[in-house]
Chain A
Amino acid sequence: DAKTTQPNSMESNEEEPVHLPCNHSTISGTDYIHWYRQLPSQGPEYVIHGLTSNVNNRMASLAIAEDRKSSTLILHRATLRDAAVYYCILRPLVGSSNTGKLIFGQGTTLQVKP
């Protein structure tokens, strides 16, 4: 299973942008890059995913390097409610040889300071 590398923790100030990095040098051509976050005492929450192109949604933006060996989750204006553990996960395309399961690592704990 392909693996990702993330910093253990990061800090940000409220209302400033946050860039959460993720390295995935062994990514394969059919792996999607997924991001989830987990707030205290809750289950993980889907944030965003992409394959090759940068992606935007109401929660965040995902910037994917041209060689796909790294990606960055961008929170445009951090709020106190964004304090969570952020997981970067490679998910294989579901097919005959892949179940599409998500394998979680340790993630990055984001602290947001007022």
Chain B
Amino acid sequence: EAGVAQSPRYKIIEKRQSVAFWCNPISGHATLYWYQQILGQGPKLLIQFQNNGVVDDSQLPKDRFSAERLKGVDSTLKIQPAKLEDSAVYLCASSLRNYGYTFGSGTRLTVV
């Protein structure tokens, strides 16, 4: 089966600019997650969707981060405006209920 697709692979922006990341999960996976991984740390959950509804966004910095999942399939994560501390790898994952997650390769964001 095809894996979780993410784009772009890399992005460099200046602070205060905006940026968007796209994720296409595995077909049929109802649950989709966005994680942020800062260098040297484990991934941190930002938001979890079940179909097109938000299940958990308690760790999402809502003053600058937003996410949506259109029609319960693709998802977009946006940062506006970006800060230097947002430099990280942004990982998307999807899963079936109670099964393992499948992660994409991530988008490496550098804010300068």
Contacts and interface: CB of A to CB of B under 8 A. Distances in A.
Interface residues of B, number: 25
Contacts of A32: 98
B72 interface: no
Interface string B64-85: 0000000000000000000000
Nearest to A35: B100
A10 B105 CA distance: 25
B59 to A, nearest CB: 10
A17 interface: no
Interface in B95-112: 95, 97-98, 100-106
A68 B104 CA distance: 31
Mostly, the B contact residues are: strand
A65 interface: no
A44 interface: yes
Nearest to A107: B42
B13 interface: no
Contacts, number: 53
A45 B42 CA distance: 13
A43 B91 contact: yes
Contacts of B43: 44, 104
Interface string A97-114: 001111111110000000
Interface in A23-57: 32, 34, 36, 41-46, 49
B48 A46 contact: no
A85 B40 CA distance: 10
Interface residues of A, number: 23
9 contacts: A32-B98, A36-B101, A43-B91, A43-B93, A43-B106, A94-B98, A99-B56, A100-B95, A100-B98
A11 to B, nearest CB: 19
Interface of A: 32, 34, 36, 41-46, 49, 85, 87, 93-94, 99-107
Contacts of A43: 4, 91, 93, 103-106
